[in-house]
Structure 1
């Protein structure tokens, strides 16, 4: 069965198209508006006109009744909606998802031994290896102390106990306090998760995570319905660390080229900045904790 036959695929595609229609006005695209509008944004017939397709065809596409839209049609709709590059790629993922595979129990993911060894050698840079569902597969001492010092350092090695950064962001009280610009961090996390969900529509574990967060966090559910989409590869994050106070760090998300969806996250501070001094202090704290564990046989 092609996934385009499933209601879930229809809902994701339709919701995305409606959300992007809603943010445009006729004036934005050079059209004259006639009559009162019951809902904000472009009407279906206006978007169809801009994209050069029939209203009937576009309506069927938005309602999930057309599974064979050509790439050129999707491109035309993308241009009409003035999508960003990330949104354009996401629209193609939603409109042409891969055929559904036979559902199987997902195997626990693991970070390669060489990658674990690499981040372990990074003494002054917090680093984390994430699976595509934002589960922590490995972290070095600094990454652990920066993001989740209240968790067991060895938890990523146990699939059943692995911390999940997006789950912690919305459900863990310690993590909630870590980000002073919380709305910005939450929106960025959901925008990246939207892209991942579009690329992997047959990932049942990912769907279960999204369902869990939607049920347990009103904040997540409201932001998820806005359908933000952005591939967050680099940027600046503000932290309010329980021991170090305010930190400003540059993050880089390096996606592994093996198709696993794993990525390496690193956090660095500007040279000579108070944040760099704070990371140096955190590194020394990590060394003390490591020595204590060795003495205790941990």
Structure 2
């Protein structure tokens, strides 16, 4: 397995020569993306060196070369950071197992001080370590125990009903897990979660093969909540310096909006025992 090569090939395959400023003279191409020699030309490195890089055989790659490759591949900020992590598995400070297994008291206090804002603390593998009542009611109203959020999105039928654009939400989960596999390369929970989803969800496997990458720090989702109806939430993910392996995730709504009214209503409804899960709908086909 060569994560760096997989990533480079996936990005090279989606850039058309004309989009990279290369002139085409009507030649027939077997692939729509860039060839290795074309990418090497754009990055200003030799074909043999780029080939070794893609094969995971180039060591001690300089910042200048990685920056040149990132520019040639037209990577965004998250993708560039991911490239650096994958290219330097021994030097990346984040290339290790996540170490935070308990939530510090300060984060529990923070959750308690936000009774009107749905919030939760997630670990590196997206297990819910803690949440406030409104976060519980918004995202797992039907569960008594805190779930793994990535597993829920792909394997819990209610999540398909909750998100109006379920494929978009699912793709953001995959994009985060791609980052997490590189960042927490030694964490068996992260790797095990990905392996489980690859084996149990064809949709996850299809999206995983596309190699999306994103920290997903700020996202907006339209929801169809079974208790309070439609609402639009803005998801914000914060990483704290003292606990870099934990994420504080909050969900805000526009003040005075119907979504705000729905959230206030949700906060005032006592929780009931979970109802039986509905039968799954037909799966969403990933192109």
How does the TM-score come out when normalised to structure 1?
0.85
> Residue 36 of structure 1: which of 14, 28, 36 is its match?
28
Q: 1:100 Cα deviation (Å)? A: 10
Q: 1:109 Cα deviation (Å)? A: 1.2
C-alpha separation between the residues in 2 aligned to 1:232 and 1:22?
23
Aligned residue in 2 for 1:244: 228
1:69 aligns with 2:53: no
Query: How do 1:126-141 and structure 2 match up within 5 A?
Result: 126-141=118-133
What is the total number of aligned residue pairs between the two structures? Answer: 270
> Residue 79 of structure 1: which of 71, 79, 82 is its match?
71
Deviates more, 1:40-49 or 1:198-207: 198-207
C-alpha separation between the residues in 2 aligned to 1:227 and 1:87?
10
Q: Specify the SS of the correspondent of 2:220.
A: strand
* Runs of 4+ off more than 6 Å: 104-108
Aligned residue in 1 for 2:192: 208
1:17 aligns with 2:44: no
Retained in 2: the 8 A contact 1:120–1:141?
no
How does the TM-score come out when normalised to structure 2?
0.88
1:220 aligns with 2:181: no
Judging changes above 3 Å, is the alpha-carbon distance between structure 1 residues 108 and 258 closer, same or farther for their aligned structure 2 residues?
A: closer
Structure that is richer in helix per residue: 1
Q: 1:112 Cα deviation (Å)? A: 1.1
Q: 1:107 Cα deviation (Å)? A: 7.2
Q: Deviations over 1:257-282 (max 9, x none)?
A: 12532111111111111111111111
Q: 1:210 Cα deviation (Å)? A: 0.5
Q: Where in structure 2 are there 5+ consecutive unaligned residues?
A: 274-287
Q: Deviations over 1:213-266 (max 9, x none)?
A: 001000001101111112211131111111111110112111111253211111
Retained in 2: the 8 A contact 1:256–1:262?
yes
Retained in 2: the 8 A contact 1:100–1:202?
no
Aligned residue in 1 for 2:276: none
